[in-house]
Amino acid sequence: MERIGTLGIVLAAGLWPAAAVAQDYAAAPVMTVTATRVVTPTRDVAAGVTVITRKEIEQRGYTTLVQALAAVPGVHIVQSGGPGAQASLFIRGTDSEDVLVLLDGVPVNDPSDANGAFNFGDYTLNDVERIEVVRGPMSGLYGSNAIGGVVNIITLKGSGAPKASITLAGGFPAQAQGQAVISGSTGKFDYSFGGAIDEERGFDYTARRLSVYAGNLDPFRSRLAAVNLGYTPVAGTRVYLVLRYQSVDDAFPDLGFPVFDDPNSYDYNTNLFGKFGVTSTLLNGRWTTDLFVARLQNTLRYSNLLDAEDPNGVQANDVYHGYRSDAQWNNTVKLPDAGPSAQSSVVAGVEYINDTAHENVDENDGGFPFTETVQASQHSLAGHVGGQTTLLGRLTVAAALRDDSVSSFGNALTGRVGGVFALPEIFTRLKASYGTGFLAPSLFDLYGVSNDGYVGNPNLKPEYSSGFDIGPEFIVPALGEDDFADLTLTYFRSTVRDLITTTPDFSSEENVGRADINGVESELLLHAASWVSADINYTYTRAVDAGSGDQLLRRPQDQASATFTITPAPGFSLVPQVAYVGRFLDYLYADDGYAIGDASADPGTIVNLSGTYRLNDRLSVFATGQNILNSNFEPVNGLQIPGASLLVGVRATVQ
């Protein structure tokens, strides 16, 4: 192991003597369903898991998915501008297309994306109940793309007495937000209706250090409508319908040769999602079955008008349509305790996916026209089986196996196995897991065509991966708190082979090379008192090309964050957050706007501060400052993060 999370080990050593006064683990566990498909405490899951709740989203002032994921250990998110602009997620050093994104359990990676990836930049959080992030290879449960991990976005569902929640906010520079949710249950029906508007004047995301910086503002606008309906004809059975519509318009600088601070570069995104199904709990609660069909439609239009001042002479009118149909039948059976085995479950299911992409790229660069098209589809049929059990009250073991039959190349068999060994006498859990993963070639890789001679390769093989992680978790009681400190240290290593890359002459795609990745995650959760808590994490990542030894682009070796929740008085909370991104390799631009090639990019530190005051049970006021020290950090060289902003608002509930 090249380096370790030194801070975490020092803190653990300092806290260890205080543990002698405690008797057990006590604290209420955080639960996850994504990691094993069985509702399980995160401390009993042999994987890195982070759960971001609705309460945390509001306390920390998160309004976008990019903000919510920025402080997750082992995760690096890169946005090419401000809200709405393309944002990619790298988990434990794997590539952005190696992250599978689920919306209420449905895979929603965009089939029309050149890499089959997901754009994290155009998702707002108004209708989100919680976000579960699982790090490590998860293809054994979820199939393609889950090489680095899985992000599951879980939307709001109505329950209890009818109520209406309203949020109104405004701030600097020239931003306004409004949200309304009506939810509850009546008799056999439950419902949640939500709508939201978010508008920002924005900043100029061209790096201010560049001589071409012109101060052109890049606005952002989002419209969201969400519906979650349920009907329970008999106890234990719910028929449900989920609908989600979001449209996002945004502007962003267009990096060129040289960079030009473009005032007319726009994206227009529309996402439509629907899911209809039925879930039942049978046999006195021992069998849960869920059958559903889902449909995803993504449309992206990129428009760039010709500017007389643009030295590159760029203009564009590109349209990307991605469609996904998904049908799943998933089952969980709880087994009776037998001998040393307890809390046992078996999971099994089948999934059919059909993807279609229609892409038409029509651009002109300096008088040279460029066209590119994709009109293609592929489908897959998969079956998975797995289970977990706890042996002798100490060892929780989980395993999964999945076979995907993909129309473009054939079968991919992947699996995962892990265990958690509890040593409550010394307040410790030992965790280890091993898994394999795969990434199916994208429709562009297979069938893309352009006027410069590029032709996709329909004979591509998928990328394959294997990896493991191992490490302890210490849950240390002290100072009257049963979970005073929760320290996790994880060493991870993975290999991704048969990488899909463009040929040296740019004429097609091919499988070549291998990426070697290893590193350490350390996370410390502190509950020093009822009025203060902290989440401090540090990740070291080494991700290199196995052949050349070169560092992979945009994978910082060092990354850390610290989030504190302080409640100095009843109803009043303050959440300061500091995030650090170390140096990383990127394609650099000099201050004159001309490219200088791959080199080390500068690190950055971002500071946010949120505060909430609850006036009564139905009314709260809040304020959120993002990047309050006005950092000029460039997650993409040549493009900087949004400048300092302030949002002030009110939340009201009528019941």
Q: Name the amino acid, one letter, at 554.
A: R
Rounded distance between C-alpha atoms, residue 351 and residue 404, angstroms? 9
Rounded distance between C-alpha atoms, residue 146 and residue 139, angstroms? 5
Rounded distance between C-alpha atoms, residue 398 and residue 44, angstroms? 10
Phi-psi region of 35 (alpha: psi -120 to 50; beta: other; left: phi over 0): alpha
Confidence of residue 7 (pLDDT cuts 50, 70, 90): very low
pLDDT in tens, 536-580: 999 999 999 999 999 999 999 999 999 999 999 999 999 999 999
Rounded distance between C-alpha atoms, residue 71 and residue 60, angstroms? 11
Closest by Cα among 360, 359, 372, 362 to 317:
362
In this predicted structure, the answer to whether residue 382 has a pLDDT above a threshold of 90 is yes
Confidence at residue 15, expressed as pLDDT on a 0 to 100 scale: 34
The β-bridge relationship of strands 584-589 and 595-601 is antiparallel
Q: Report the pLDDT averaged over residues 483-503.
A: 95
Ordered by where they begin, the domains of the chain are 6-654 (2.40.170.20)
Confidence at residue 367, expressed as pLDDT on a 0 to 100 scale: 84
Confidence at residue 114, expressed as pLDDT on a 0 to 100 scale: 87
Confidence of residue 5 (pLDDT cuts 50, 70, 90): very low
In this predicted structure, the answer to whether residue 25 has a pLDDT above a threshold of 50 is no
Confidence at residue 139, expressed as pLDDT on a 0 to 100 scale: 97
If you count them, how many residues does the chain have? Answer: 655
Contact 551, 543 (CB under 8 A): yes
The β-bridge relationship of strands 149-155 and 99-103 is parallel
Confidence of residue 27 (pLDDT cuts 50, 70, 90): low
Confidence of residue 3 (pLDDT cuts 50, 70, 90): very low
In this predicted structure, the answer to whether residue 393 has a pLDDT above a threshold of 50 is yes
Contact 572, 612 (CB under 8 A): yes
Rounded distance between C-alpha atoms, residue 289 and residue 612, angstroms? 40
Confidence at residue 478, expressed as pLDDT on a 0 to 100 scale: 87
Reported pTM: 0.94
Contact 417, 389 (CB under 8 A): no
Give the residue, 330 or 26, on which the prediction is more confident: 330
Confidence at residue 436, expressed as pLDDT on a 0 to 100 scale: 98
User: Residue 314's Cα: distance from chain center in Å?
Assistant: 32
Rounded distance between C-alpha atoms, residue 168 and residue 178, angstroms? 5
| Number of neighbours of residue 482 by Cβ within 10 angstroms | 16
Closest by Cα among 540, 473, 331, 519 to 46:
473
In this predicted structure, the answer to whether residue 162 has a pLDDT above a threshold of 70 is yes
E-strand ranges in 424-480 read 428-439, 449-450, 463-478
In this predicted structure, the answer to whether residue 255 has a pLDDT above a threshold of 70 is yes
Q: Report the pLDDT averaged over residues 131-143.
A: 97
Closest by Cα among 185, 190, 182, 186 to 166:
182
User: Residue 442's Cα: distance from chain center in Å?
Assistant: 20
Confidence of residue 452 (pLDDT cuts 50, 70, 90): confident
pLDDT above 70: percentage of residues in the chain: 96
Q: What is the DSSP letter of 557?
A: S
Rounded distance between C-alpha atoms, residue 60 and residue 535, angstroms? 12
Q: What is the mean pLDDT of the chain?
A: 93
Q: Say what the alpha-carbon torsion angle 447, 407, 516, 96 is, to the nearest 10 degrees.
A: 60
Cβ neighbours for 549, distance < 8 A, ≥ 6 positions apart: none
Rounded distance between C-alpha atoms, residue 153 and residue 300, angstroms? 21
pLDDT in tens, 616-626: 999 999 999 99
Contact 638, 168 (CB under 8 A): no
Contact 60, 535 (CB under 8 A): no
**Which position has the token pair 């393609």?**
144
In this predicted structure, the answer to whether residue 85 has a pLDDT above a threshold of 60 is yes
pLDDT in tens, 260-304: 999 999 999 999 999 999 999 999 999 999 999 999 999 999 999
> DSSP readout, 479-492?
TTEEEEEEEEEEEE
Contact 535, 523 (CB under 8 A): yes
Whether cis (ω within 30° of 0) applies to the bond prior to 336 is: no
E-strand ranges in 201-286 read 220-234, 237-251, 265-282
Cβ neighbours for 425, distance < 8 A, ≥ 6 positions apart: none
Q: Which two tokens stand for residue 319?
A: 């349209």
The β-bridge relationship of strands 463-478 and 395-406 is unpaired
Give the residue, 331 or 27, on which the prediction is more confident: 331
Contact 464, 517 (CB under 8 A): no
